[in-house]
Structures are given as C-alpha cells and as structure tokens.
Amino acid sequence: MKHAALRFLAFFGVAFAAGWLGSYVQRSWSSHSAVQLQIADSGAASARLANLSSAPASFQEASALSTPTVVFIKNESTAQYSSPLGWFWDFDPFGSRGPSMSTGSGVIVSADGYIVTNNHVIQGAEKLTVVLNSPKKEYIAKVVGADAGSDLALLKIEAEQLPTIRFANSDELAVGDWVLAVGNPFNLTSTVTAGIVSAKGRNINLMKNQFPIESFIQTDAAINPGNSGGALVNAAGELVGINTAIQSNTGSYTGYGFAIPSNIVRKIVTDFIEKGEVQRGFAGMEVRELNADELEDLDLNGSALRIVAVVEEGPAYKAGLRKGDVLLAVAGHALSGKSDYDEHLAYLRPGDLLDVDWLRAGSDKKSASIKLMSKQDNQALLMKGAVSSDRLGADFQPLNASDLAQFGLNQGIRIINIRRGGAIAQMGLPNGFVVMKFNGQAYAEPEALIAAMERATGRIQIQGKDPNGTTRTYSFFSY
C-alpha cells in the first residue's frame, strides 16, 4: 500500500485497500419508520453536557454506555492477485483469485438489529459477519442500503433486545468538547480512545463520486484502521458521529481523524429503512467559497458562497437565482463555508424547501425558497438534449441560452460523461469541454458533430473552451 504525505485514507480497506475508499434528518427529527432510534432529549442533554468543556474525572460511564453498542464486522470477498508480469489482453495467466477478508466496525441503532457502518467497510462483500461485543455471538448480516456519497451503509441482523446507541444532536457539539472513539482497530475489539473536537465542517475531498457529502467532525482521538464505522461519542456516551477517515502518511493514526455527524447519519439511516436508498434533494446549482478579496469587494465580513453554475429550469433557476449571485445564509443561518451548505442540504429531501438569502451585484439582499428536486429529475435536466456516442465514449449536449451567454458563444456542443477507454478520453479532453469547431467547422447539433468525429481520419483539430472558459485547441494525427 502506497502512502503519500498527508494522504487521506479510510480506516479500513477492501482487499488491501483497493481504492481505500472505493468505495443525509429533517431537523425536526421526526421518523415515519417502524424502527425507533433513541434520540437524546435536548434539554436533558444540555444539563448533562453543561460541564463537559472541562476534562471529566473519568470516561468510565461513557465507555460503559457506548462499548456494548459497537460491533466487529468481517467482510469476506474474492480478490484478484496480480503476478509481477502484469496483465495481457485483460488476462493475467500468472495471477490468481482467492479469498480475502477485511474488518471494520459498526454501531447498533435499533434493538432488532439495524447496524450503521461505512460504505467502504462493506463494499465488495460476498459475506458479512457481525460479531457482538458481549457475548461474542456471530450473525450473518444483509445490506439494507449503501451510499458512496456519504460513505454510509445500513446492515440488518436477525436479533432482538440488542443494546442501542443514543443519538446526540451533532449541531450542539462544539470545538473543544471531549469525545471518545469506540471501535475495533487492528482487530483489537472494544477499544476506546479519548480526545477533543478539533474542528467541524471539514471538507477533505474524500468522497470521489458525483454527489459527495462532506462536512466532517475532526478529532484528535486516536483512530486507526479497523475503526471505520465505529462510534464517536460525547462524554455522556451519546453518538455524535461515525468514524470514517484519518489524515496520515503511514496508514495509522498520526494526529487527526474524521467522523460523519450524527445528524446526517440519522437522516440517512431513516432513508435506508423507509426507502432503501438515500433521498437527496437537489437545488440545481453549484457553489464555491468566496476568497478574501471577493468578500472585501462585496463589503462582506463573514463567509459567503458564489454560485458558479445554475441548471436551466432547475429549482434555483425557477427561484430567480443565476450564476454569479452570492449566497449569504441558509434557513436564516449565516454560512461558514461550502461544507456548511452541503451539510444543510444533506438534511433535506426532494420536495423540501431550501430557504436562502442571496445577493446580486448592484442590488439589495434578497430571499428565496427553493423547492428541491430528486436526483432523477436533476440528472434529466443535466442530460437535456444530450446525444450519446458509444464509439467516442461520451455524451454530446447543445449549450442552452444561459450557457451560450456564459461562454460568449453563438453555438457550441458540450462533451459530458466521458467514459474511460473511449476515443474522447484518449484525446485528453476534460469533462464539460465545449466544442466550438471540429476541423475548422462549427456544429449546432450534437448528431452532426458526432458523425463528423466518428468518420474523421488523418489530421484532426478541435477548438473549444474548458469548463472555466479558457479557449484551447487540441490537435491529433489520428485516433
């Protein structure tokens, strides 16, 4: 396993960490499922946690409450072991396939056997075995739901009267609060380590997929491989997060770990139980954080987000927002960064309203309610008018009016969903590249451009714009 300096690694890998992470809780916390999750009373929690900013004399009670709810998970799969001679025509005659086992942790969230863990803990599994803390009884687990975007999964075992974790409101967790990491590192079951919350709302670019959710709790409690899917609890023994990743150049603990906030965990668990998949709401826009100069130009003191893309006819577009507008607050709360926006969006489902305060250059602050759409509707809008080419290995989409205005063009074809191994990928064109001319000819329809590209031979030249608007020319002899 290769370790780059300060490389973010998951605690636990499937088949020697192949990809290492190959692998949202309405705030009312109401649940419509038959499964009842234990939720800490906010008032009682405040009383319990009033003195937790100072070091407690002992973590014995918190450990006793949380340890029985954390389980050991064994992932059995079949792995391909390559020979030193490499692959030949997608076949390695000297390689072999054999059994592989990796381990991780999980947290019992219902007395009848629902267990939450990380998606990367269970990915690729042919058999999942759950071992209780006490007694050391084993159960075969089935996957209820898994989501790469949040790196969460829900398992179910056939059992009754199991000890369950109590969910705390992770919004109430503060930097400096004491926390415990409970899990099974290095196959050492029932290990508890202590530390503090070092930061909240961390985005560490861990989730390598199209719709990631990243707003991690950062802690210095020692977390190691095998802790993935385990519990991060407060000094009252209540769940504040699911341990997910470490920052390390050795693969083991070197200072910081990261956990998914319990509020996001609870929402996703509810989605899995009720729907079998995560119910994510999409606003139809992309945002980025403003830098210091941009904030000064707008005479803003705090953080804000710039809208860098708006899907035409999407929810944000219908609510009046456009590219270049600035988001100031969501649901009445000032935004501390993009991860704060992502986390709030993670709590909402299709049909829910996202209330935003926003600003457009030269005008006063405005407010809008954005009715969120489903992932399917979002994808349909993103693919509107797109034509696919299997031979070229990509989809081709005409620019809409707002896109044309953005790029300053009269016509253009955007290349999207580039598939690995296809001709477009081999050319090195970036996803979202806008073709202005192909071999000196401009094209208004995707079908015409595809036909020209598929039959072209000899010298080829493509002129267009990168997603950021930079004009580029690519030349090839043949492909």
The residues carrying an active-site annotation are 120, 151, 228
Query: What phi and psi, each to the nearest 5 degrees, are found at residue 396?
Result: -120, 125
Q: CA-CA distance, 309 to 237, in Å (whole number)?
A: 43
Q: CA-CA distance, 99 to 119, in Å (whole number)?
A: 20
Residue linked to tokens 């605690």: 11
List strand residue ranges (DSSP E) for 228-352, in order. Answer: 231-234, 239-248, 256-261, 285-289, 305-310, 326-330, 333-334
In 3D space, the residue among 445, 365, 387, 377 whose CA is nearest the CA of residue 411 turns out to be 445
Q: CA-CA distance, 79 to 92, in Å (whole number)?
A: 13
Query: What phi and psi, each to the nearest 5 degrees, are found at residue 66?
Result: -90, -35
Distances in Å between the Cα of 5 and the Cα atoms of 8, 205, 212, 248, 251 are: 9, 15, 23, 7, 10
Distances in Å between the Cα of 414 and the Cα atoms of 35, 48, 238, 417 are: 46, 56, 49, 10
The CA-based angle 313-316-322, given to 5 degrees, is 90
Alpha carbon 348 to chain centroid, angstroms: 15
